[in-house]
Amino acid sequence: MAEEQKTGCSPSDCAGCSHAGECGSKPQSLIKPENKKSHINHVIAVVSGKGGVGKSMVTASLARLMREQGFSVGIMDADITGPSIPKMYGIHEKAKGDGENIFPCEAKDGTKIMSINLLLPEEDDPVIWRGPVISGVVTQFWTDVAWGELDYLFVDMPPGTGDVPLTVFQSLPVEGIVIVTSPQDLVRMIVKKAYNMAGQMDIPVLGIVENYSYLECPDCGRKISVFGESHIDETGMRELLRQVEGLYFPKYTVRFEPERIPQLTAEEVIDAFTAAAADFYEKKEQEFTSPVMREVERVVLLRVVDEYWMDHIDAMTDLRQGIGLRAYAQTDPIIAYKKESLEMFEEMISAIQEETVRRLYSVRLRKNEEVKRERVAKTTSESVGGDGTVKKQPRKVKKIGRNEPCPCGSGKKYKNCCGRDA
């Protein structure tokens, strides 16, 4: 029969496992709950391996671009020892609180900002704190600050891979990072550490921004590489190939000549991997035979749909129970529920498609065993007797209480209406 290859527990494995609550390998979430007066849809971190590459400027630029597109935006200045975001926005007043919550300052364009500079007596007061204290402050910027309704929260991270980046990655629901770098070889080497850290924390890299790439001569227009030649395109393509290969089928299935990699286009890479995927799946079907492969596809799809649909139902229940709290953030709970439920449904469909493909490409065939058709869904409304006949379960009838409203619709109590003679 068909058996899926497993290299460890994944979220999808735990979703359909009867021992999920007892298994010690199940990953434990360290995400801190956000403030009750906050509702943040997306959290994006901006990181760099080294200081002085324009990380804070990129953060402010991203926030500005999203504001111009009509999104509500906030910036969390997590660079505790070197805060610069308030200065960029011309904010000099102090953040206020009500004893339970801290309220961020608001820039002229509507961007909400929280920084340690907004809490210090003077802007130029040094922050001479140890790592655990700094990490605790960053966590409080998430749990104690009433951000309100935000589409995007950008986190301006300190350089490097120390305590604060680790705290942010573990405590905040970061959906992706943007890496800021410059052409110097030393900076590229350090940035790679940040890239690898994101990989180990299972956080996707949304993009890489290279500052100081060149200077354009004001007289002749010639581009001058002051800090060295840029290798961002070549590096990005190599990392893309490294991430993609082995994702669905064995590594080195797709090969490119090293000298050709910098000249590859996105279309060429897509075509090469698509052809390799089709060839791999065709060989698998030849090994299984078409009837067996169709049965495997049916079983895998039904199992994945069942797992993700049950998770979706639980998530919708949680959303429905807490949606009323959005009114504290001056948001219509009904509109928020419709918007978020649609997003959750679309995410579920995308996750089902991705997981189904992953399992189909990792499935293998046990030799010398008869392939039997499996019943994925269990029938609960009927049972099979000893003679093989299907017996219907007795229908349960709800007993009406004497003081309950009469089901006939008269508006009277049951004991004074239809149940008078009962």
Other C-beta atoms lying within 10 Å of the C-beta of residue 174: 22
Q: What is the domain partition of the chain in residue ranges? A: 38-211, 289-365
By CB atoms closer than 10 A (0-12, 13-18, 19+), residue 220 is: exposed
- Which phi and psi (to 5°) does residue 152 adopt? -135, 135
Other C-beta atoms lying within 10 Å of the C-beta of residue 372: 8
Q: Nearest Cα to 133, choosing from 97, 98, 167, 180?
A: 167
Other C-beta atoms lying within 10 Å of the C-beta of residue 386: 6
One-character DSSP codes across 16-85: T-TTTTT-TTSPPP-PPPPPTTEEEEEEEEEE-SSSSSSHHHHHHHHHHHHHHTT--EEEEE--TTS--H
- The 3-state DSSP class for residue 113 equals strand
Mean pLDDT by 10 residues, the chain (422 residues): 44 49 58 88 88 87 92 92 88 87 92 91 80 87 92 90 84 90 68 78 83 81 72 59 64 71 74 83 88 90 91 88 78 86 90 88 70 54 50 58 74 75 65
CA 365 to chain centre: 33
- The 3-state DSSP class for residue 215 equals strand
Residue 325 has what pLDDT?
79
How far apart, in whole angstroms, are the C-alpha atoms of residue 132 and residue 163? 7
The two structure tokens encoding residue 38: 């906050």
- Which phi and psi (to 5°) does residue 9 adopt? -80, 130
What is the third-level CATH fold of 38-211?
Answer: Rossmann fold (3.40.50)
Residue 113 has what pLDDT?
94
* Residue reference for tokens 């994944």: 10
Range 222-248 burial, b when 16+ CB lie within 10 A, else e = eeeeebeebeeeebebbeebeeebeeb
Query: Domain 289-365 class?
Result: mainly alpha
Residue 218 has what pLDDT?
83
Global pTM? 0.57
